[in-house]
Amino acid sequence: MALTTAQVQQHITKWENFYRGNYYPHRVRWPSKLFHHCPIQNAVSILKDGNIRSRKDGENTHNVDVAGQDVIDSTDAAHSSSRFYFRPRTPTQFYIEGIRKPSDCEKFGTSAHAPILVMFILKAANILTLEGTRFSKKNMQIVGTEVGDTAEFFNEIPFEKVYHEGGISGDYSIIEHRCAEVLAVSPVPLIDSLECVCCRSVIERETLLHLLGADAEKWRSKILISDDLRVFNREYAFVQKAEVTESGLIISINRRHDGKNIKLEATAQTDNGQQILDFCNESISCTPPSGTEWRIINDFDEGRYEIKIKIDNHLAAHFVANFESSLI
C-alpha cells in the first residue's frame, strides 16, 4: 500500500519545520529528497540505462560492488529492491567513500569502497508514493530489520534518529536508524524522480561526463557540484582541481583526514595517442609545503590532451583538456 501524496507532504512539512533554524540547518532540505550513492563506474551505468535497479535485477549492469561480502551474505531481504536512503552520509557511506589505502578498509575489505563516490538526489514524494514501495526503520543488512508499507508503519520510523547529526551520546541505535532505507520496485526510472547528480569537485564532474561519452549531453545539466545538503564526508584524498598550463599540469588534492602521504600518478596523451607525460611519486603530501596546488612540470603545446590521474592506484580523474596558450 503506497503512501499518498498528502501523507508524504505531511512528513516533509513536519521535518522541514522541525529543522528550520535548528542546529545543522542543512537538514531542512533532506525530508523532501531521497539519496542513492554509488561509485562513479556504477553512476555511469545508471545514467546510460536511465534507471536505478536492484542488485538482483537481470538488467543491472553495475561494474563495481562496494558492499563487503559478509554484509551481502548476511541477508538478501533488500536485494530485489531499488534502494535509497532518507539522508546522505549514512554510516554505510562513511565506510566506503573516498580513495583509501588497504589499511583504511579493515571493516569490509579492500574492494568495499568507492574511490570516486557519486550521489543521486531524488524527489522523495515520487518514490514514496510508487506502488510497492516499502521502508525500513534500520539498515536492511541487519537481520530482522522491520519493513512496512503503510502510513502507520512509516510514522513509526524515528526520523529524529534517521536525520540525526553530531555525537550519539551512547545511543548506538542512532547509527542503525541513520541507515533506514526506502525499498522500491526495480527499476526506478530517473526521468520521473531525479533532481540532480552531485559530485565532490569540478574535476570529478568532468570525469563523470567524460566516462558517459555520447550520453554526457543528455545529463550535463543535471550533474552538479554542491555541498548545500552536506552529502559527502570528504575524509580521504580526491582531486579538487586539475588544469593544463604552458608549464605543466596543476593538481589540487583534498587532504586526507590523517595527513598521510599518497601515491600520485598522472599521464597525458595527445589526440594521436602520443604520451607526453608519465609522472609517478610513490609518497607525496596531498598539499605542497606552501600553497594548495602541485605543479607537475611539463611543456604543453596548444592542443587537446587526455589526462588520467591516479591516487594510491585508484582512478581519481579522467578528462580531456583543450589547452590554448595565453602566450602571445
Q: Is 112 exposed, middle or buried (0-12, 13-18, 19+ CB in 10 A)?
A: buried
Let me know: does 97 contact 117? Beta carbons within 8 Å: yes
Grid cell digits, residue 75? 541477508
What's the rounded Cα separation, in Å, for the pair 267 and 261?
20
HSE-up of residue 96 (Cα within 13 Å, Cβ side): 25
pLDDT score recorded for residue 328: 43
CB atoms within 10 A of CB 251: 24
What's the rounded Cα separation, in Å, for the pair 204 and 41?
12
Q: Is 133 exposed, middle or buried (0-12, 13-18, 19+ CB in 10 A)?
A: buried
DSSP structural state of residue 163: T
Give the E-state strand segments of the chain in sequence order.
Answer: 33-39, 51-52, 81-85, 117-123, 134-136, 147-148, 181-185, 188-189, 194-199, 223-225, 239-245, 248-253, 262-270, 275-284, 294-297, 303-311, 314-323
pLDDT score recorded for residue 75: 59
φ/ψ (deg, to 5) at 308: -125, 135
Contacts of residue 310, Cβ cutoff 8 Å, sequence gap at least 6: 263, 264, 265, 266, 316
Grid cell digits, residue 38? 554509488
DSSP structural state of residue 114: B
pLDDT score recorded for residue 141: 82
pLDDT score recorded for residue 73: 46
Let me know: does 236 contact 98? Beta carbons within 8 Å: yes
What's the rounded Cα separation, in Å, for the pair 246 and 250?
10
Q: Which CATH number fits domain 239-323: 2.60.40, 1.10.3470, 2.30.30, 3.30.43?
A: 2.60.40
Residue range 6-16, pLDDT digits in tens: 999 999 999 99
Residue ranges, CATH 2.60.40, the chain: 239-323
φ/ψ (deg, to 5) at 270: -80, 175
Query: pLDDT below 70 — which residues of the chain?
Result: 62-64, 66-77, 108-111, 325-328
